[in-house]
């Protein structure tokens, strides 16, 4: 004997609440409903959304799809952060290498500058010595010319 649905005054909350009595006794169908609803309510149950992230009864994203979307976004953020960190570290290493190269160049240029300064001092001191010798030599030549009487 099939139940008369018109006599049942309890409203159905969702289409899943109505299970035909063909599964056996009314107690069996009630157990089946409880099993189905307990699977949907548990957070560990992995249920695929059949409508590409939209529930059939409503055009809003379902919880499973929202969780998946959040997890994908978190993973994407982790990858982006890791890539940013790697790029920053590589850039920092390049800058450190550039600083070292420039510091080495500064030391080399200072050493070269000091050697040039010493070279200049040597040339100037030789120039003074030769100048004094030349000046002394010219005076000696003048005295010799005066003594010889040549104009």
More confident: 13 or 98: 98
Quote the Cα angle for 140-141-142, to 5°. Answer: 90
| Nearest Cα to Cα of residue 70 among 60, 82, 62 | 62
By CB atoms closer than 10 A (0-12, 13-18, 19+), residue 51 is exposed
Q: What is the pLDDT of residue 44?
A: 44
Q: What is the pLDDT of residue 148?
A: 58
Average confidence (pLDDT) over 8-26 = 51
Tens digit of each residue's pLDDT (9 = 90 or more) over 111-144: 999 999 999 999 999 988 887 776 665 665 665 5
Q: What is the pLDDT of residue 39?
A: 45
Tens digit of each residue's pLDDT (9 = 90 or more) over 54-88: 555 556 778 888 899 999 999 999 999 999 999 99
pTM over 0.95: no
Each residue of 26-38: b (16+ CB within 10 Å) or e? eeebeeeeeeeee
Sequence-ordered list of residues with C-beta below 8 angstroms from that of 55, at least 6 positions apart, any chain? 49, 61, 62
Tens digit of each residue's pLDDT (9 = 90 or more) over 82-112: 999 999 999 999 999 999 999 999 999 999 9
């Amino acid at each position: 004997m099939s139940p008369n649905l018109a006599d049942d005054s309890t409203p159905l909350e969702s289409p899943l609440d109505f299970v035909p009595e063909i599964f056996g006794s009314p107690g069996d169908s009630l157990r089946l409903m409880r099993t189905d609803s307990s699977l949907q309510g548990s957070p560990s149950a992995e249920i695929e959304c059949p409508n590409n992230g939209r529930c059939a009864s409503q055009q809003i994203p379902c919880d499973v799809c929202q969780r998946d979307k959040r997890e994908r976004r978190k993973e994407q953020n982790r990858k982006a952060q890791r890539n940013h960190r790697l790029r920053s570290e590589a850039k920092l290493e390049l800058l450190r290498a550039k600083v070292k190269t420039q510091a080495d160049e500064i030391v080399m240029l200072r050493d070269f500058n000091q050697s040039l300064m010493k070279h200049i001092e040597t040339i100037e001191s030789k120039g003074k010595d030769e100048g004094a010798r030349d000046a002394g030599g010219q005076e000696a030549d003048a005295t010799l010319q005066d003594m010889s009487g040549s104009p």
